[in-house]
């Protein structure tokens, strides 16, 4: 539903550090990347994204990114995809999904 919050946690494959992505669902059912968080900089990690940066609990948060996605497409790995939550409630873990290319898309359900 619009306004719901989606969290996508994974391990950065080169640096092998935890990476946190925070999205919200728009009125048009797209995913808006709002915030990313990670413990430090390295290869493939942006130096400046969004409208602000804060450091909290040992993580660097870049917020106000507002990148829009029709869907998330990734190559799932039991080792690197950590967890996906919706509004703070677990949806799945990478180890519960097949190791192949996956698509996460928001769709309205009719009841």
- pLDDT, one tens digit per residue, over 21-45 is 999 999 999 999 999 999 987 777 7
Strands (E), 1-111: 5-11, 18-25, 31-38, 52-56, 59-69, 71-75, 81-86, 89-93, 101-105
Model confidence at 79, in pLDDT bands (50, 70, 90)? Answer: confident
Query: Residue 108 CB: number of other CB atoms within 10 A?
Result: 7
- Ranking 9-18, 52-61, 96-105 by mean pLDDT, the lowest is 9-18
Q: Which structure tokens are listed for 43?
A: 């290869």
- State residue 13's pLDDT score: 67
Q: Closest by alpha carbon to 73, among 4, 8, 25?
A: 8
Whole-number average pLDDT of the chain = 90
* 111 pLDDT above the threshold of 70: no
- Under DSSP, the state recorded for 92 is E
């Amino acid at each position: 539903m619009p306004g719901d919050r989606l969290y996508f946690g994974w391990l950065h494959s080169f640096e092998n550090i935890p990476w946190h992505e925070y999205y919200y669902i728009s009125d048009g059912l797209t995913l808006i990347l709002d915030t990313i968080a990670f413990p430090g900089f390295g290869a493939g990690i942006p130096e400046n994204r969004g409208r602000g940066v804060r450091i909290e609990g040992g993580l660097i948060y870049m917020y106000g990114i507002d990148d829009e996605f029709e869907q998330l497409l990734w190559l799932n790995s039991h080792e690197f995809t950590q967890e996906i939550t919706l509004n703070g409630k677990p949806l799945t873990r990478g180890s519960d999904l097949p190791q192949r290319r996956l698509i996460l898309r928001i769709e309205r359900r009719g009841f």
